[in-house]
Chain A
Amino acid sequence: MKKQIICTSCPIGCQLEVVIEDGLCTQVSGNACPRGKTYAEQECLRPARMVSTSLLIPGRSLPLSVRTDRPMAKDEIKACLQAIAEIKVQLPVKVGDVLLANVLGSEVNIIATRNYE
C-alpha cells in the first residue's frame, strides 16, 4: 500500500511517499534528510509527537513552560497532559531540568523550558 505523509521532523515539511507492507514501512521517498525516513517508519508503526504545555505555579503569575524531551506516542498525549498537570514543581528550576521522568512508563521525560526562581 502506498501512502502520502508530511514529515513533521522540521519546519520544511517534506512530502513523503511511503510503501507499507504488513503494517511495516518498507520504502520511503521524498525525504530531504535521514530524519524523514525515521519519521516515516515511526509514523507507520506508532505515530509520536513532541508535547509542549505549561504548568501553573501556585502563588505565581507566570506559568512554567514544559515539554517532552522526545516525541510521545500520539495515542498517549492526553494521558501525558494529565500526568503533567499533576506535577508538583519545586522551585527553582532551570531550563532542561527533568520534572517527571519516564512519563507513563515510557522513555519520555518532561523537562522545564524556562528558568524559574
Chain B
Amino acid sequence: MYDVLIIGAGVIGCALARELGRWQLKVAVCEKNSDVADGASKANSAVVHSGHSAAPGSEMARLNVAGNLLYDQLCQDLNVPLQRNGSLNVAFTEEEVTSLRQLMRDGEKNGVVGMRIVAPDELRVMEPQLNSEVKAALFAPSSAITSPYELTVAMAENAAQNGAEVILNCKVLKVERREGCWVVFCSDRKLQATVVVNAAGPYSDVFNNQVSAEKIKILPRKGQYWIVDKSYEGSFKHTIFQVPGRMGKGILVTPTVDGTILLGPTAEDQDDPEDTSTTVESLEYIKEVAKRTWPALPTHALIGSFAGIRAHTKEHDFIIGEVKDAPGFFNAAGIESPGLTAAPAIAEELCQQIVAKLNPAENRHFNAYRSPIPAFRNMSFAEKTAAIARNPLFGRIVCRCEQITEAEIRASIRRPVGALTVDAVKRRTRAGMGRCQGGFCLPRVVDILSQELGVSPARITKDGELSEILASERPDRPADEQLVQNGSGSQACENPEVLVVGGGPAGLAAAIAAYDRGCRKILLLEREPMLGGILQQCIHTGFGLQIFKEELSGPEYAQRYIDQLEQRGIAYQCDTMVLEISPDRLVTSVNPKLGLQQFQAGSVILAMGCRERSRGALGIPGTRSAGIYSAGTAQRFVNLEGYVPGKKIVILGSGDIGLIMARRMVFSGAEVLAVVEIMPFSSGLKRNVVQCLDDFGIPLLLNHTVTEIKGRGRLNAVVVSKVDERLRPIPGTEREFSCDTLLLSVGLIPENELSRAAGVKLSAATSGPLVDERMQTNVPGIFACGNVLHVHDLVDHVSVEAALAGQAAADYCRQQSLGLPEEFLTIEDGFGVRGTVPQRVAKHSLQKALRLTFRPSQVFMNAKILIEADGTPLLESRRRILTPGEMTEITIRGKELATLQDKNTLTVKIISP
C-alpha cells in the first residue's frame, strides 16, 4: 500500500516524487517505458520559458513564471546544467512589432520581469548571425536552457535516494476506487495507494476518464526538430523565437546546454500518442522557417532530427489538482509547453495539496542534493589522474566522440534508477550522442550493459521492449573477457622522437618506415585492445595484392605489419586513447593501466582513420527504431563479437563495406533484400558488386534511396523511392521492403577532431589535413596518412602513403625541419576531380617522381587526365574508366617536375570525350 502512486515518470512525475520526499510518505512512480523521461520530457525544446507567451490569467502563465523562478535552486541542488541565456522574439514586419508590444504587456501581467524591446542596432551586436531584416525583438532575460532528460533523471535519482520507488517497464492499465483506496492495475502487478497522481502525459485523459465524470480529451500534438552539429556552437547565444502564432510559439532556434543548436518544433495534431516519426515535409518546413531567423543556416551540419509529443488540450491550459468527483485522485494533465518550465511549480503545488490531505510528518532526512556521474571530459589534468587512480576504468574511453569512459557507463547503470537500455546510457552519459552516433561504441555499450545487468547481449535493447539490438544468441560467450591480442603492448617510451597516433594499417606502416629511416625512439598509441585497426574486422580477402602479391584477409595483412613492428622492437600501447595534441606536439593520452600520460614528441603522425557517416547525417525521416546500423558497426558485431545483428536486411549505400556486409550477412544466414544506391553508379569496387551482390542474386537498386523508416521498437520496414537526376525522390515510386535491419554504407569521414584542435588545416574536398608531398600538414612536425588524410579504396595504397609520412617524420626529428626555406607549388582540383592529395608540393623537392591521387567526381569512360601548370598542359594520361569508387593515381616524372620551378599552380582535370 502506497501513500502516493504517480502514473508516469516524465518531468512532472519525477519532480513530484522528489518533492514528496520531503515528507514521510511511501511513494511509487510507475512508468510504462524502460526509462524515465522517455516521452515528451526527452524530446522538447529544452527551454525554461520566461512566461510572456502564456495567456494572462491562465494556469500556464502562473505556473510558468513560478516554475522559472525555482530553476536556479533546483538545478544547483541536482547538478543539472542551466544557462540563463535569455530569449528574443523577433519581428519582421511592423505588424509583428505591434504583436511584440502586446506580448510584452502580457508578460508584465504574468509577472515576467526585465523584458524590453531591442532595436536592430543592438540586435546585431547581441546576435550577429540573426537575419538583418529583423525590425525589433522582445528580449526576456529570464529565459533559460537546460537538459530536460538530465533534469528528469536527476529528479528520479534524487527521489529514489529519498525513498521513492521508481518502477520502470510497468504499464498502468486501469485505476479503480475500492474500499477507500485506489487500486492500480498494471501490466505485471496490482498496486494500492491512498492517493493517485495522473502524470501520464498524452494518456492523462485515459486515467482521468476512468475515475471522473468530468471527461477531458488530450489531443496529441507532434513537434519535430533538427539538431545542428556542435561545430556551430556559439552561432546563437539567445533562444530566438519568431512571433507566436495560433499553433504555438513557432519555430525557434536555440542553443542547447550540449553545444548543439535546436531548430523546431512543428505543431502537428495527430491521433496516435506514440507516433514520434519524423517526416520530410515537416523537416523541410523547419529548415525553411528557421532560415528566416538564421539566413546562414548550415544545412550540411544538420546531424539529426527527432520528434516529441505534447499533451495538448483544446482549452490549452494545464489541468492541475484533485478531481472533484474522485477524492484522492490528482491530475497533472494537459501538460504541454511550458510544462518543463512549470514542472517544479506544479510539483510544489500538488505536493502541498497532497500533504494537506494526508497530513504526514516531515522527513528530516530529506537530502535535496544529487551528485552527477563524474564526467571525465570536464575534469582537469589532476582530476583525471586522480579519477583513474581511484578507478582505472576512467582510463578507458568507450565513446570516443564525446570522450565517455567505461567508468561513467558502468556508473550510469549502477546508480539508483540506473540505465537499462542503450538509450538510457546515452541520456545519462552522452555515450553515442556524438558525431558517429554510436557507430563505434554501440557494441561496447551493449557488452557493458549485458555484464552489469547479468543478461545476454541479445536481450539488450535500444529503448525497451521489442527494440533488441541483436538477432542471435551466443550462450558460449564469456561474460567478461578483455579482447587483448598481440600482447597488451604497454611499453614506455619517454618523449619519443616520432609519435604515431593510431595502430591501423597507416600507423603501423608509418612507424615501421620511421624505424627503417634510422629513428629508434618511436611510440605508437592505439585506442583498441589490439593493433591492426579496422583490418581486424575486415575478415574478407582482397588485401595485399599489390604489396605482397597475395590475396590476404584484413587480419592477415595487419599481422604482417604487426610482426614487422614487433621484430623491430617498436614501442606501442594499446587500449590507449589520445585526448589531445597541441600544435607544439605535446600529446596527452589515457590508458586504464598507465593512466593519463603526456609525451613531448619530436614529430607526430596522425593515423586515426575514419568513421562512417551516420543516419542523422542523411536525415532519413521516420521512426528512431532499433535495427539501424552503419555497415562497419554490423561488421564488428559479426566478425569481432560473434553476433548477427539482423535477419532481413536492406542496405543503403553501395560503399565497399556495405557490399562486403551484404555477402557477410548472407553467409551468416540472413536474407539481404536489396542494396539501395542514390547515385547512378556504385561507390564500391566493381569486383565487390560482382562477388558480393551478383553472386547471391541481391539486387542493386541504382538511382534509389530510402525515404522512410518504419517500426516502433525494432525496425519493421523501409520505404525505397526512385530519385530524379537531382537526387530528389520521385513521388509514386515508393516501394516498401519489410525488414528488421537497415545497414548504412553511405560514406566515410576522416576523423580529424584531434587534428583540428592541434591547429591542422583541413581540406573541404577530402575532410582530411592539407598536406605536402611528404605528408606534412600546415603545422610543422605534424604528418598525416591513411584514412585520416583521405579515404582510400585499397589498404595497399595506405601502406605506401604511410611509409612516406613515416620517413618524413623521422627526417623532421633529425633536422627539425625538412630542409630549405619552403616555397610551394599549389595543386588544385579541376573539372571532374575531387580531393587531390597532396595539395601542395615544396619546390625544392621537384626532382623525384610525384604521385598524385584523387577521386573522379563521376564515372568517365575513355577519358583523359590532364595536368596543367599555370594553365599550360604539362602531362596527360588516358584511362579506359574512371569511377568515384576507385582512387585514381597519376605520377609526374622527374623530367616534367624539373620544368615547374617558376610555376605556381598545378591543376588536375578530366577531359571527357
CA gap between A117 and B476 in the complex, in Å: 17
B301 to chain A, nearest CB (A): 33
Asked if A65 and B639 sit within 8 Å, CB to CB, the answer is: yes
Complex interface: chain A residues within 8 A of B541 (CB): 50, 52, 67
Q: Judge whether B299 is part of the interface by a CB distance below 8 angstroms.
A: no
Interface residue tally for chain A (C-beta within 8 Å):
34
Q: Judge whether B547 is part of the interface by a CB distance below 8 angstroms.
A: no
Q: Which of B474, B639, B687 contacts A7 (CB 8 A)?
A: B687
Which chain B residues in 614-673 approach chain A with CB under 8 Å?
Answer: 638-642, 664, 667
Q: Judge whether B553 is part of the interface by a CB distance below 8 angstroms.
A: yes
Residue of A nearest to B543 (CB): A11
Asked if A15 and B881 sit within 8 Å, CB to CB, the answer is: yes
Given known A11-B545, A61-B478, A67-B539, contact A114–B559 (CB-CB < 8 A):
yes
Asked if B685 and A65 sit within 8 Å, CB to CB, the answer is: no
Given known A11-B545, A52-B541, A63-B639, contact A81–B667 (CB-CB < 8 A):
yes
Complex interface: chain A residues within 8 A of B664 (CB): 53
Which chain B residues in 252-268 approach chain A with CB under 8 Å?
Answer: none
Q: Judge whether B794 is part of the interface by a CB distance below 8 angstroms.
A: yes
Complex interface: chain A residues within 8 A of B638 (CB): 54
Q: Judge whether B848 is part of the interface by a CB distance below 8 angstroms.
A: no
Given known A7-B687, A49-B691, contact A113–B640 (CB-CB < 8 A):
no
Residue of A nearest to B641 (CB): A61
Complex interface: chain B residues within 8 A of A49 (CB): 691, 695
Chain A CB within 10 Å, residue with most, of B541, B689, B793: B541
CA gap between A34 and B678 in the complex, in Å: 35
Residue of B nearest to A96 (CB): B556
A108 to chain B, nearest CB (A): 13
Q: Which of B474, B486, B553 contacts A52 (CB 8 A)?
A: B553
Residue of B nearest to A114 (CB): B555
Asked if B690 and A6 sit within 8 Å, CB to CB, the answer is: yes
Asked if B667 and A65 sit within 8 Å, CB to CB, the answer is: no
Given known A50-B541, A113-B553, contact A8–B690 (CB-CB < 8 A):
yes
Given known A11-B687, A15-B881, A58-B476, contact A113–B555 (CB-CB < 8 A):
yes
Which chain A residues in 61-117 approach chain B with CB under 8 Å?
Answer: 61-63, 65, 67, 74, 81, 95-96, 113-117
Asked if B476 and A56 sit within 8 Å, CB to CB, the answer is: yes
A50 to chain B, nearest CB (A): 5
CA gap between A12 and B545 in the complex, in Å: 10
Asked if B551 and A113 sit within 8 Å, CB to CB, the answer is: no
Asked if A11 and B542 sit within 8 Å, CB to CB, the answer is: yes
Chain A interface SS verdict (over half): loop
CA gap between A13 and B485 in the complex, in Å: 34
Q: Judge whether A1 is part of the interface by a CB distance below 8 angstroms.
A: no
Q: Which of A6, A13, A15, A67 contacts B553 (CB 8 A)?
A: A67
Total A-B pairs, Cβ < 8 A: 98
CA gap between A114 and B638 in the complex, in Å: 16
Given known A59-B476, A61-B642, contact A10–B545 (CB-CB < 8 A):
yes
CA gap between A105 and B382 in the complex, in Å: 64
Complex interface: chain B residues within 8 A of A53 (CB): 539, 664, 667
Asked if B478 and A54 sit within 8 Å, CB to CB, the answer is: no
Asked if A62 and B559 sit within 8 Å, CB to CB, the answer is: no
Complex interface: chain B residues within 8 A of A114 (CB): 485, 555-556, 559
Asked if B474 and A56 sit within 8 Å, CB to CB, the answer is: yes
A37 to chain B, nearest CB (A): 16
- Proximity string of chain B (713-730) to chain A, C-beta cutoff 8 Å, 1 when within and 0 when not: 000000000000000000
B312 to chain A, nearest CB (A): 49
Q: Judge whether B735 is part of the interface by a CB distance below 8 angstroms.
A: no
Complex interface: chain A residues within 8 A of B559 (CB): 95, 114-115
- Proximity string of chain A (41-56) to chain B, C-beta cutoff 8 Å, 1 when within and 0 when not: 0000000011111101
- Proximity string of chain B (848-883) to chain A, C-beta cutoff 8 Å, 1 when within and 0 when not: 000000000000000000000000000000001100
Asked if A113 and B545 sit within 8 Å, CB to CB, the answer is: no
CA gap between A5 and B687 in the complex, in Å: 10
Asked if A60 and B551 sit within 8 Å, CB to CB, the answer is: no
CA gap between A81 and B486 in the complex, in Å: 28
Q: Judge whether B686 is part of the interface by a CB distance below 8 angstroms.
A: yes
Asked if B553 and A11 sit within 8 Å, CB to CB, the answer is: no
B561 to chain A, nearest CB (A): 12
CA gap between A54 and B553 in the complex, in Å: 12
Asked if A65 and B555 sit within 8 Å, CB to CB, the answer is: yes
Given known A10-B687, A49-B695, A95-B555, contact A62–B483 (CB-CB < 8 A):
yes
CA gap between A8 and B684 in the complex, in Å: 13
CA gap between A12 and B886 in the complex, in Å: 8
- Proximity string of chain B (534-577) to chain A, C-beta cutoff 8 Å, 1 when within and 0 when not: 00000111100100000111011001000000000000000000
Complex interface: chain A residues within 8 A of B542 (CB): 10-11
Complex interface: chain B residues within 8 A of A12 (CB): 687, 886
Asked if A54 and B687 sit within 8 Å, CB to CB, the answer is: no
CA gap between A58 and B686 in the complex, in Å: 37
Residue of B nearest to A51 (CB): B667
CA gap between A61 and B483 in the complex, in Å: 8
Asked if B478 and A52 sit within 8 Å, CB to CB, the answer is: no
- Proximity string of chain A (2-38) to chain B, C-beta cutoff 8 Å, 1 when within and 0 when not: 0001111111110100000000000000000000000
Residue of B nearest to A57 (CB): B476
Asked if A60 and B478 sit within 8 Å, CB to CB, the answer is: yes
Asked if A8 and B555 sit within 8 Å, CB to CB, the answer is: no
CA gap between A115 and B474 in the complex, in Å: 22
CA gap between A60 and B485 in the complex, in Å: 12
B186 to chain A, nearest CB (A): 37
CA gap between A5 and B485 in the complex, in Å: 41
Complex interface: chain B residues within 8 A of A6 (CB): 686-687, 689-690
CA gap between A82 and B794 in the complex, in Å: 30
Asked if B695 and A74 sit within 8 Å, CB to CB, the answer is: yes
Complex interface: chain B residues within 8 A of A54 (CB): 539, 638-639, 642
Q: Judge whether B415 is part of the interface by a CB distance below 8 angstroms.
A: no
- Proximity string of chain B (875-913) to chain A, C-beta cutoff 8 Å, 1 when within and 0 when not: 000001100001000000000000000000000000000
CA gap between A59 and B477 in the complex, in Å: 5
Q: Judge whether B481 is part of the interface by a CB distance below 8 angstroms.
A: yes
CA gap between A113 and B687 in the complex, in Å: 22
Given known A8-B687, A8-B690, A54-B639, contact A65–B539 (CB-CB < 8 A):
yes
B686 to chain A, nearest CB (A): 3
Question: Could you name 26 residue pairs across A and B whose Cβ atoms are closer than 8 Å?
Answer: A6-B686, A6-B687, A7-B687, A8-B690, A8-B691, A10-B542, A10-B551, A11-B542, A13-B685, A13-B686, A50-B551, A52-B553, A53-B539, A53-B667, A54-B638, A56-B477, A60-B478, A61-B642, A62-B485, A65-B539, A65-B639, A67-B539, A67-B541, A67-B553, A95-B559, A114-B556
With contacts A50-B540, A56-B642, A62-B642 known, what are 14 further pairs, Cβ within 8 A?
A6-B689, A8-B690, A11-B687, A12-B886, A13-B686, A50-B541, A52-B539, A52-B541, A53-B664, A61-B483, A61-B641, A65-B539, A74-B695, A114-B555
Q: 3 smallest A-B Cβ distances: which pairs?
A: A13-B686, A65-B539, A8-B687
